[in-house]
């Protein structure tokens, strides 16, 4: 059951990321970004629950080869991440396949008391960058750290005070407060992630341009058709 839900969440996240690439309006991009992070967080928590029996592994740097890389690298800016918190830390989870295979010095963070940048250099000939500005609360740079794990980087942002964070950034909190004042609380925060995605796309359809509307109509049609096919298969 949990494995099926993990796969379903991953499919929803991938589909929302595709919509993010097409979105042109700022409000639509903010809406998508917030929903992606919610689903990424749920996906990370389910993956961690599934892997509780596995002990955490320290990643040793791999031996670099003597063959120089000739291809030009290009940078990919990351938007999606999951997060969790304890009394001491805000934990940011960034999924990157095979990130455990590169030396530790190629994975690092630049931190201030209100921002973080994750840099991953030369992972399969690509550089990755995740920037999070305007953190909800100040952090302690000296007490923060990060770790490479299998297909994932975890950044431990040390809280300056043990307050519980409702969001990672001030912008997300402001955006969600505005959204909650416009929509009913249960419009998007349903128990079923698939229903949440469908409600989100309906809201986007109302505010999107012609290209966005065509893409959303196609996505919603395919999703509804898949549901009907699954029902018939179960009979």
Q: What is the pTM of this model?
A: 0.56
Of 47, 1, 45, 36, the closest CA to residue 196 belongs to 36
Give the DSSP letter string of 97-138. TTGGGS-GGGEEEEEETTEEEEEEEEETTEEEEEEE-SBSS-
Report yes or no on 35 lying in a domain: yes
At 217, the pLDDT band (50, 70, 90 cuts) reads confident
- β-strand partners of 95: 152
> At which of 165, 198, 216 does a domain end?
165
Report yes or no on 154 lying in a domain: yes
Report yes or no on 95 lying in a domain: yes
Report yes or no on 56 lying in a domain: no
Average pLDDT of every residue of the chain:
78
Report yes or no on 148 lying in a domain: yes
Give the chain's domain count. 2
What is residue 169's DSSP assignment?
B
- Are the beta carbons of 19 and 219 closer than 8 angstroms? yes
> Given this model, what pLDDT does residue 54 score?
46
Q: Hey, what are 158's tokens?
A: 């040390």
Same domain membership, residue 157 and residue 197:
no
> Given this model, what pLDDT does residue 31 score?
77
Same domain membership, residue 140 and residue 87:
yes
Same domain membership, residue 158 and residue 76:
yes
At 60, the pLDDT band (50, 70, 90 cuts) reads very low
Q: In this predicted structure, which of 38-42, 206-210, 231-235 has the lowest mean pLDDT?
A: 231-235
Higher-scoring residue by pLDDT: 22, 136: 136
Q: Could you list the residue range(s) of the whole structural domain that residue 202 is in?
A: 1-49+183-230
Same domain membership, residue 36 and residue 112:
no
Report yes or no on 18 lying in a domain: yes
């Amino acid at each position: 059951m949990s494995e099926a839900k993990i796969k379903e969440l991953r499919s929803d996240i991938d589909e929302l990321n595709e919509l993010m690439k097409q979105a042109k309006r700022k409000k639509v991009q903010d809406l998508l970004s917030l929903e992606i992070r919610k689903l990424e967080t749920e996906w990370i928590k389910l993956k961690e629950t599934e892997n509780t029996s596995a002990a955490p592994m320290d990643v040793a740097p791999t031996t670099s080869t003597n063959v120089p890389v000739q291809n030009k690298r290009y940078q990919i800016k990351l938007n999606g991440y999951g997060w969790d918190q304890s009394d001491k830390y805000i934990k940011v989870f960034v999924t990157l396949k095979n990130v455990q295979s590169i030396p530790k010095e190629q994975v690092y963070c630049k931190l201030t008391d209100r921002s973080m940048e994750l840099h991953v250099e030369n992972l399969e000939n690509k550089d990755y960058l995740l920037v999070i500005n305007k953190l909800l609360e100040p952090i302690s740079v000296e007490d923060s750290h990060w770790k490479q794990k299998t297909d994932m980087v975890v950044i431990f942002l040390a809280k300056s005070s043990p307050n519980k964070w409702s969001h990672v950034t001030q912008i997300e909190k402001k955006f969600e407060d505005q959204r909650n004042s416009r929509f009913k609380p249960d419009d998007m925060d349903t128990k079923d992630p698939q229903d949440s995605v469908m409600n989100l796309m309906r809201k986007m359809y109302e505010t999107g341009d012609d290209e966005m509307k065509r893409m959303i109509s196609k996505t919603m049609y395919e999703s509804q058709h898949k549901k009907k096919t699954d029902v018939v298969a179960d009979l």
